[in-house]
Amino acid sequence: MYIYAISDLHLSGVNPKPMDVFGPHWDNHWEKIKESWRAKVRDEDIVLIPGDISWAMELEEAKVDLYDIGRLPGRKILIRGNHDYWWSSISKVRRILPDNMTALQNDSVCIQGIAFCGTRGWTAPGPKDYTEHDEKVFARELIRLRMSLESAKDSGDIIVLLHYPPFNDKGKPTAMVELLKSWPVKHVVFGHLHGESLKSVTEGCFEGIQFHLVSCDYLNFEVKPIMEL
């Protein structure tokens, strides 16, 4: 069994939003992703999707995109991104998900001895325009990450999904990384970054943890293998 990851799918099945406005490489991006997905992923595999799944504004509208993903092979594990406005209460989200999809929020799921945890995260502290509101949201996301990790305290290995990167634009680790170091975390997948921000990506091994940027455009719209079980 393999674990793959890809984020920032930015689907828009109900009210189509052309993504090539962000560059010609985004043209027909969902078809590119599905082609890679079907070529690599089997039904017994796991695909991690750390946020920005659908442009839908309402949960009912997002069902079209969620079920499109659900028809692809593998078990999918999701967290919320900053553009997932359709993500209302977690109970409502879980109620409409296909059977092969799991949404995380302040909790975890364990599969074959691996615990999957996660939270959205937030903008890294440091920029001049960082506000008191940003500070409060970041602190809240730290609490949510801790809750998710604590729910997996009996697991031997942990994989974490974040939407925002746990490093600032200078490559300095945030308090998210300090928290992750306290747990048996093996891999962290994150997205959110696009365009010019892809030129200053921090990923790879840090403090014994493998960090992976999996924004779909960064991956050339192909699912990335994270590990084999």
Mean pLDDT over residues 43-58, rounded? 98
Instruction: Reply yes or no on whether the pLDDT at 42 is more than 90.
Output: yes
Q: Which of 153, 119, 151 is nearest to 138 (CA)?
A: 119
Q: Is the pLDDT of residue 199 over 90?
A: no
Mean per-residue pLDDT, 180-209 = 94
Q: How far are the Cα atoms of 15, 49, 185, 215, 218 from residue 223, in angstroms, in the given order?
A: 25, 10, 21, 10, 11
Judge whether residue 229 has pLDDT over 90.
Answer: no
Q: What is the pTM of this model?
A: 0.97
Residue 91 dihedral angles phi and psi, to the nearest 5°: -65, -40
Q: How many domains does the chain have?
A: 1
Any idea what the CATH number is for the domain that residue 35 is in?
3.60.21.10
- Could you tell me the pLDDT band of residue 156, with boundaries at 50, 70 and 90? confident
Segment 176-195 mean pLDDT: 96
